Amino acid sequence: MMKTTSVKSKKHFSIKKHKLKIFFLCSSLCPSLWCSAALANNALEKEQYSEKKIDKSDIQENKNDRPSMIGQTAPTDEKSIVVTGRHSYIDGVNRRAIGGGLMIKEDAPKSKSTITRDYIEKQTPGLNPMQLIALLPGVNSSDSDPMGLTGGHTSVRGMNEASMGYTLEGFPLNDIGNYAVYPQEIVDSENLSTIQVAQGSADLDSPTISAAGGVVNMYMIDPAKKMGGRANFTYGSYKTFRGFARFDTGEIGNSGTRAYFSFSDTHENLWRGPGTERKLHGEMKVVKEWGKDNRASLVVVGNNLNNYNTPSVNMASWDKYGIGVMGGPVSGTANTVYSSDYTGNTKANATYYRLHPNPFTNIYISAPTRLNLGHNMVLTETPYFWYGNGNGGGAYWTDMNKMSYGSQTMSGTVDGKNYGQTLLYEPSITKTYRPGAVTKWTWTKGINRLMVGYWFEYSNQRQTAPYSLIDENGNPYDKWGGGSNVILANGEKAEYRDTRTRTVIHTPFIGDSISLLNNKLTIDAGVKYSIIKRMGRNYLPDTSTGEVINQTYRAVLPTGSIRYKINDEHQLFFSVSTNYRVPMNSSLYDSGTYYAGSGYSNHAATGLKPETTISEEFGWRYQGKVINTSLTYFHYDFHNRLFSQTIIDPENPTSYYSTSINGGNQTTNGVDFEIGTRPIYNIRPYVSAEYIDARTKSNLMASGSGVSALLPTKGKFAPQTPRYQVGFGLDYDNGHIFGNFSLKYVGSQYSTFMNDEQVPSYVRMNIGGGYRFNSWGGLKSPTIRFNLANVTNKHYLNYASGVTTNAQYVKALNGQMVKGSAPTYGIASPFSAMMTLSTGF
């Protein structure tokens, strides 16, 4: 489902000496942990786990000793679901996971980081997945409210979520039009088993057309084999209340079938500006197992959220008003929140918050199935259906006497009456129907595994923006844009945009994996051929591209990797992959207000080229009894880099939209590092770090200046890319008392290609803790816990949401002075305190 596409919304190189400093800095963390290994081994022998003892035979991260291969994304694959010990609490915590649940033992032939329930469960209940992966190497995660109900953004190695693939239980989550991810929709954290971040590339079978920078795979827990469930209640800052309940049926008779059903209800006041948010969320999972390794499951996720948009800010507004003062307008350098008061039908009231609702409903259905065909052959089928319907509301001050239908000026009326100059409600509505399936056949013969598969998807996306009246209190008569619409003299409904896009995806793939030297050496190679066809129609008249749009993109994407196990503790890996991302569907269409002589205010950009990426990684892992660590060097070459740019309507500052621009070529080099331990006297530390150097390799045309001139952007640091990041996590859990601390440092990141404006560096700290009681009666492991986020209550910008070429005056290559265009930013969520009571039953 898409909301913010709306009118609203990297050659090899010689590493310089100074770049090696980060390697030695990260490596210096190891000795202090190594010297404690002997003591920790003794501690491991003595420690008691959960409500039972656990022996070393229970300690397993994988279901077998065979290596991972490229192309194992489906939840029914052997190693996509991580096992971290058979004894655990009702909430899935086992107190054993590495780094407090921020690492697992990994043998993939490429970089990959995974968090497990030991970490997920101890965070604020209901946090969205982007918030949960914030400490992992390379991940720069930002939110705009404590519970993540207004969404958020994530970049990995400088590539935002629109350049990443996101999947849940093997089906795609990115919007098919603009590839945005709305994390508040996806899944309740209580039902999450693992989140897996592949920083470098997606697997062959990943159903995504936007994973130029890797993939985030999420997997849900399985239903329990015994009847029961759990419940928790959270209360905290900003009048936050959340309730969650799950019922597990247990195995139903001797059928091999079990299921769970869960529901959550979350309320939260907006902390910046007026308004409230409410999220109703339901999930179910049914699993059927039979015979030898046959498994079928059905996953249904339903989500309904009603909230209000919060405006992005430019630097001038931020410097002047900070987080904002209630009641002010949003225009130029004015206040950074929407108005809480409606004072009548005037242009100033376009900033009234009730005219900016953001309701949406989405349903995800998936049925991952694994069939053992015999003769070492396995068929994996993951059919899915994706439905979304939502909008980002806005307001528009106009003269109905001057409204037009393309080049034809014709007055608009509502029920036959012309209101002259008036304030209109303008929602940006997107409705998406999206079925698809990933089919995969795998044959294992001795040391070799062959995989052949096919991904097909068909989507139908309707996007409209009708104008309608508002009532005397400033409320839209219908937040979905129905009811009192503006009808033009020709009988047509007045629309800001009016498009339908059908996207058909055909992606066959083949991969082969061979294990040599008693499984010490694994070699993977594969290729997929992606065909993406967009067939669109713009129902607005007099557009620059005509009514019917047809665009086809094709790409051959080979990949390969090697993993060598030096011994049981040390391994090396190398991978090379190619990826691509096609332009957003909104770039195909004109939209907005029609101006005689120049056409629509938002012009189609059908000439945009797909973004292509060639990436290489070389890494080392140490996986001991106590310490796990990973160090990865990566290199990217980008061609036709796609960036999301926010364009503001100069006639109506509250009306803005996102579009793609080709940001030329780019080269990126960097180092990722992470280290974590098993319990050392119940303490499990974790550290991650990244250094990155990302450079634009092209001179770009000025944006938003009204002139055509090349700017000297070649050699500048790429925007939206922090040069340094450091994450630190510390977990303590003795079975009853538990506590955790996290810290994330994110270096400054540019918001323009000319590097003349930036998001300053920041540090964010969170603290949590609680007490786990013994089971009593029908209550299993009742627990009380607290979570404090942003404990210093620092107000800061955390994301450049709208990138421009230049913010200040710049001399172009032809000598012309080019005026800048202000980038826009998101504001980080403030301090919050949450208290949670939970129990199993």
SS (H, E, C) 478-536: CCCCCCCECEECCCCECEEEEEEEEEEEEEEEEEEEEEECCCCEEEEEEEEEEEEEEEE
Which tokens sit at 526?
Answer: 């594969």
**pLDDT value at position 707?**
65
**pLDDT value at position 31?**
35
**pLDDT value at position 53?**
38
Q: Is 504 exposed, middle or buried (0-12, 13-18, 19+ CB in 10 A)?
A: middle
List, for residues 532-547, the tens digit of each pLDDT value.
999 999 999 999 888 8
> Given the structure tokens 């795609």, which residue do they identify?
172
Which tokens sit at 836?
Answer: 């949670």
Q: Is 721 exposed, middle or buried (0-12, 13-18, 19+ CB in 10 A)?
A: buried
Give backbone dihedrals phi and psi of 328, rounded to 5 degrees, phi first: -85, 165
Whether the CB-CB separation of 276 and 149 falls below 8 Å is answered with no
Q: How does strand 192-198 pair with strand 113-115?
A: antiparallel
Which strand (E) or helix (H) includes residue 21? helix 17-27
Q: Which amino acid is at 194?
A: T
> Given the structure tokens 């503006």, which residue do they identify?
486
Q: Which residue ranges in the chain fall short of pLDDT 70?
A: 1-71, 78-88, 325-335, 643-661, 663, 703-707
Which tokens sit at 51?
Answer: 């409500």
Cross-strand partners of 676 = 628, 686
Listed residue (621, 638, 637) closest to 629, CA to CA: 621
**pLDDT value at position 233?**
97
> Given the structure tokens 């003794």, which residue do they identify?
42
List, in order, residues 6 or more apart from 319 with CB less than 8 Å away: none
Q: How far apart are CA 82 and CA 115, in angstroms?
A: 10
**pLDDT value at position 647?**
54
Q: How far apart are CA 22 and CA 669, in angstroms?
A: 13
Listed residue (195, 205, 138, 133) closest to 168, CA to CA: 195
Domains, the chain: 59-215 (2.170.130.10), 228-840 (2.40.170.20)
3 state SS for 338-364: CECCCCCCCHHHHHEHHHCECCEEEEE
Q: Which amino acid is at 838?
A: S
Whether the CB-CB separation of 164 and 215 falls below 8 Å is answered with yes
Whether the CB-CB separation of 497 and 465 falls below 8 Å is answered with yes
Q: Is 405 exposed, middle or buried (0-12, 13-18, 19+ CB in 10 A)?
A: buried
Q: How far apart are CA 465 and CA 495, in angstroms?
A: 5
The CA-based angle 186-178-351, given to 5 degrees, is: 85
Q: Which amino acid is at 132?
A: L
List, in order, residues 6 or more apart from 24 with CB less than 8 Å away: none
Q: How far apart are CA 489 and CA 285, in angstroms?
A: 52
Whether the CB-CB separation of 742 and 727 falls below 8 Å is answered with yes
Other residues' Cβ atoms within 10 Å of the Cβ of residue 107? 20
List, for residues 79-122, the tens digit of each pLDDT value.
554 444 445 678 888 899 999 999 999 888 999 999 999 999 99
Which strand (E) or helix (H) includes residue 129? helix 129-132
Q: How far apart are CA 417 and CA 487, in angstroms?
A: 10
Which tokens sit at 473?
Answer: 């209190």
**pLDDT value at position 660?**
64
**pLDDT value at position 63?**
42
- Quote the radius of gyration of the chain (alpha carbons, Å): 27
DSSP class per residue in 136-174: STTEEEE-SSTT-TT--EEEETTEEGGGSEEEETTEE-S
Listed residue (514, 586, 504, 510) closest to 552, CA to CA: 504
List, in order, residues 6 or more apart from 365 with CB less than 8 Å away: 298, 299, 300, 301, 384, 385
Whether the CB-CB separation of 742 and 729 falls below 8 Å is answered with yes
Q: How far apart are CA 621 and CA 316, in angstroms?
A: 46
Q: Which amino acid is at 735?
A: G
Q: How far apart are CA 281 and CA 126, in angstroms?
A: 10
Q: How far apart are CA 682 and CA 390, in angstroms?
A: 46
Which strand (E) or helix (H) includes residue 130? helix 129-132
